[in-house]
């Protein structure tokens, strides 16, 4: 090990390589590599500029930045000529460095169900040669435009109490300082990160202004905000390029520049751009639209409990309501509301009101947004209770039981596991003594569990909320369902992936080798299937589906 950086947890040296999700090792560049790297990037940029291309640096090539970088690099004029040269810039940390060499091979650092992700990255890197990646932030000196796609997290200190949390914006602030130190004065900086309202104008702009003043530059930095609405899944690329955007600039010049840029790189002809007066309005739009979505989901939690206890199938209730076009966006909440955005975005707004905008009455103003997040964050615990109860009804105990959770991702038919309800279920059941297994056709590694000591970070891991989590590090996602089911006592259908929708109860019981407890978290089981499980001697419990008890009684009567 040559790298002396210490792991803040263990105080031991961090490895001098970065490991890709596929297990490939990439050596972390050393100080003497930086100069040659910059010269290489500078040569590419000069060539591109001589061909009339604009140089765009995308800071952070994660879930959003990697794909946005490719979309920008794919931009062409009416003559079919490329108009942008894009440099994806990423910190060379042990956790993230691997994304750079992968991108430079024309491979996507993001695993997606949308085939266009791999295609567009390959095309831009290897064929059009309009996309490259580097770890050297000096590339900012070459930029006409910088797009910021680094993360801005919300750390929760207590499970089910988002009010005690805080915004973690160190990465964003550090990025802004680096940008201010290096960009040319006429460069447009576009923040795409979802931020606490006020961040662009009252945090980022002052950082850039201060850096410009230190450099003796006497013009205002050109700063704008336009948030992402990307949806991981089959329409990944389209959800960025062919989707409605909102933007705002800190002043008129920035507003004009950001409008022009977005009209060039996105399909604003079919999906019109909304231009707002100030960045705080664009920032607030993102927070409100996600809080609205989180609210609809949280609202159904109480009706889900009502339904379970009163013989009502909430799935049928929702289907009936959806017939009204005015109510068509009502959706069943499943075992918790995951994804990167909905669990945190309301927190950014609540926090900003006090810590950026300076108001002390946040707790009397914000009644719904914090409650909603707390409800969504803890809903999954009820799925663990149902598993315990189902086993109890079969005269078995959760402690020591072999339990298979089907689905690790946060929604159907995607491989994104960030803050999935399944994680909360697995953690709670592990705390209660269950031996967990996991199956998911879309997920290869469940990083939140396998790397729970440092991923996403020690403060952000849900591990902190539970006892006895150590064993979960060793969990491996299984792909063969019959094998995964062998000898399990309970199976939790946590995500409605396609392959779980038509499972035959006779097969499931025969693969398990015994009647088992079946927990349906997402309205996956049709009534006939539920009935068949009971006939086979299984116990069935389902979130929000009280009619299951009625089916059980019918089967018992027939016996
Ligand atoms: N992923 C989604 O589904 C989604 C949807 C809508 C909006 N967003 C928003 O987009 C933003 C980015 O999210 P993401 O999912 O891409 O996050 P991510 O964690 O996948 O990516 C962020 C990247 O930035 C890098 N980074 C951090 N500091 C850096 C620095 N100083 N210089 C260069 N790189 C740096 C990180 O290493 C990481 O690779 C967030 O604000 C998020 O809320 C995400």
**Which three-class secondary structure string do you get for 159-202?**
CCEHHHCEEECHHHHHHHHHHHHHCCCCCEEEECCCCCCCHHHH
**pLDDT computed for residue 13 by the predictor:** 56
Between CA 41 and CA 58 the distance in angstroms is 14
Cis peptide before 120 (omega within 30 of 0): no
**CA 192 – ligand 1 centroid, Å:** 9
Residue 66 Cβ contacting ligand 1 at under 6 Å: no
Residue 175 Cβ contacting ligand 1 at under 6 Å: yes
- Count CB atoms within 10 A of the CB of residue 306: 15
**pLDDT computed for residue 9 by the predictor:** 46
Nearest Cα neighbor of 532 from 511, 507, 512, 495 is 507
Residue 170 Cβ contacting ligand 1 at under 6 Å: no
Give the sign of the dihedral formed by CA 283, CA 110, CA 233, CA 458.
negative
Question: Tell me, what DSSP letter sits at residue 407?
Answer: -
Residue 461 Cβ contacting ligand 1 at under 6 Å: no
Question: Tell me, what DSSP letter sits at residue 21?
Answer: T
In this structure, are residues 540 and 552 in contact, taking their beta carbons and an 8 Å threshold? Answer: yes
Q: Whose CA is nearest to atom 28 of ligand 1?
A: 171
Q: Scanning the structure block, which residue is given the tokens 């800071």?
A: 59
How does 192-211 read in b/e, with b if 16+ C-beta sit within 10 Å? bbbbbbbbbbbbbbebbbeb
Q: Whose CA is nearest to atom 5 of ligand 1?
A: 230
Ligand 1 pocket, mutate which of 18, 58, 64 (most atoms under 8 A from CB): 64
**pLDDT computed for residue 1 by the predictor:** 35
**CA 339 – ligand 1 centroid, Å:** 13
Q: Would you write out the chain's pLDDT as a tens digit for each of its 559 residues?
A: 334 454 444 455 567 899 888 889 999 999 999 999 999 999 999 999 999 999 999 999 999 999 999 999 999 999 999 999 999 999 899 889 999 999 999 999 988 889 999 999 999 999 999 999 999 999 999 999 999 999 999 999 999 999 999 999 999 999 999 999 999 999 999 999 999 999 999 999 999 999 999 999 999 999 999 999 999 889 999 999 999 999 999 999 999 999 999 999 999 999 999 999 999 999 999 999 999 999 999 999 999 999 999 999 999 999 999 999 999 999 999 999 999 999 999 999 999 999 999 999 999 999 999 999 999 999 999 999 999 999 999 999 999 999 999 999 999 988 889 999 999 999 999 999 999 999 999 999 999 999 999 888 888 899 999 999 999 999 999 999 999 999 999 999 999 999 999 999 999 999 999 999 999 999 999 999 999 999 999 999 999 999 999 999 999 999 8
Long-range contact pairs involving 452-457 (C-beta distance under 8 Å, separation at least 24): 453/9, 454/7, 454/9, 454/95, 455/95, 456/153, 456/418, 457/153
HSE-up of 279 (CA within 13 Å, CB side)? Answer: 30
Provide φ and ψ at 230, rounded to 5°: -55, 140
In this structure, are residues 138 and 38 in contact, taking their beta carbons and an 8 Å threshold? Answer: yes
Residue 63 Cβ contacting ligand 1 at under 6 Å: yes
Sheet arrangement for strand 145-148: 131-134, 84-89, 54-59, 145-148, 188-191, 222-225, 246-249, 274-275
Between CA 410 and CA 404 the distance in angstroms is 16
**CA 66 – ligand 1 centroid, Å:** 9
Between CA 437 and CA 314 the distance in angstroms is 28
Residue 516 Cβ contacting ligand 1 at under 6 Å: no
Q: Whose CA is nearest to atom 11 of ligand 1?
A: 193
Quick one: the chain helix, strand, coil %, rounded to 5? 45, 15, 40
CA distances from 242 to 123, 191, 228, 245, 399 (A): 19, 19, 12, 9, 49
**CA 494 – ligand 1 centroid, Å:** 27
pTM, two decimals, is 0.93
């Amino acid at each position: 090990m040559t790298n002396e950086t210490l792991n803040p947890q263990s105080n031991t040296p961090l490895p001098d390589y970065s490991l890709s999700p596929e297990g490939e090792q990439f050596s972390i560049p050393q100080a003497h590599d930086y100069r040659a790297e910059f010269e290489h990037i500078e040569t590419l940029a000069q060539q591109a500029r001589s061909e009339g291309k604009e140089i765009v640096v995308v800071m952070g090539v994660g879930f959003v930045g990697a794909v946005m970088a490719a979309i920008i690099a794919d931009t062409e004029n009416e003559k079919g000529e490329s108009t942008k040269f894009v440099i994806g810039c990423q910190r060379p940390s042990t956790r993230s460095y691997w994304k750079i060499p992968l991108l430079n091979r024309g491979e996507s650092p993001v695993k997606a169900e949308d085939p266009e992700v791999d295609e567009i990255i390959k095309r831009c890197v290897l064929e059009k040669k309009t996309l490259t990646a580097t770890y050297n932030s000096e590339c900012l000196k070459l930029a006409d435009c910088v797009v910021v796609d680094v993360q801005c997290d919300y750390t929760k200190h207590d499970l089910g109490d988002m009010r005690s949390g805080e915004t973690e914006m160190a990465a964003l602030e550090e990025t802004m300082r680096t940008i201010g130190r290096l960009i040319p004065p006429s460069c447009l900086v576009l923040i795409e990160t979802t931020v606490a309202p006020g961040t662009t104008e009252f945090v980022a702009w002052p950082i850039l202004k201060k850096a410009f003043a230190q450099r003796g530059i006497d013009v205002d930095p050109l700063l704008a905000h336009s948030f992402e609405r990307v949806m991981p899944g089959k329409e990944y690329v389209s959800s960025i390029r062919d989707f409605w955007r909102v933007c705002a600039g800190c002043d008129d010049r920035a507003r004009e520049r950001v409008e022009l840029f977005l009209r060039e790189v996105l399909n604003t002809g079919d999906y019109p751009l909304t231009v707002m007066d100030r960045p705080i309005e664009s920032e607030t739009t993102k927070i409100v639209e996600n809080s609205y979505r989180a609210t609809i989901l949280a609202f159904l939690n109480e009706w889900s409990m009502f339904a379970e206890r009163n013989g009502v199938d909430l799935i049928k209730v929702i289907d009936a309501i959806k017939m009204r076009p005015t109510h068509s966006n009502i959706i069943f909440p499943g075992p918790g509301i995951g994804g990167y955005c909905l669990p945190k975005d309301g927190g950014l707004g609540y926090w900003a009101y006090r810590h950026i905008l300076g108001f002390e009455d946040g707790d009397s103003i914000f009644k719904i947004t914090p409650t909603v997040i707390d409800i969504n964050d803890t809903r999954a615990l009820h799925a663990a209770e149902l598993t315990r109860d189902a086993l109890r009804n079969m005269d078995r105990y959760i402690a020591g039981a072999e339990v298979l959770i089907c689905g690790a991702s946060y929604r159907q038919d995607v491989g994104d596991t960030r803050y999935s309800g399944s994680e909360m279920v697995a953690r709670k059941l592990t705390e209660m003594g269950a031996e967990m297994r996991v199956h998911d056709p879309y997920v290869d590694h469940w990083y939140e569990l396998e790397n729970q000591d440092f991923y996403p970070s020690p403060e952000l891991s849900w591990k902190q909320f539970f006892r006895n989590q150590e064993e979960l590090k060793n969990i491996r996602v299984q792909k063969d369902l019959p094998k995964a089911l062998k000898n399990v006592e309970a199976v939790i259908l946590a995500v409605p992936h396609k392959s779980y929708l038509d499972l035959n109860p006779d097969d499931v019981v025969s693969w398990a080798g015994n009647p088992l407890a079946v927990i349906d978290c997402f309205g996956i089981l049709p009534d006939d299937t539920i009935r068949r499980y009971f006939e086979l001697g299984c116990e069935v419990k389902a979130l929000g589906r009280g009619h299951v008890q009625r089916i059980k009684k019918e089967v018992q009567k027939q016996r």
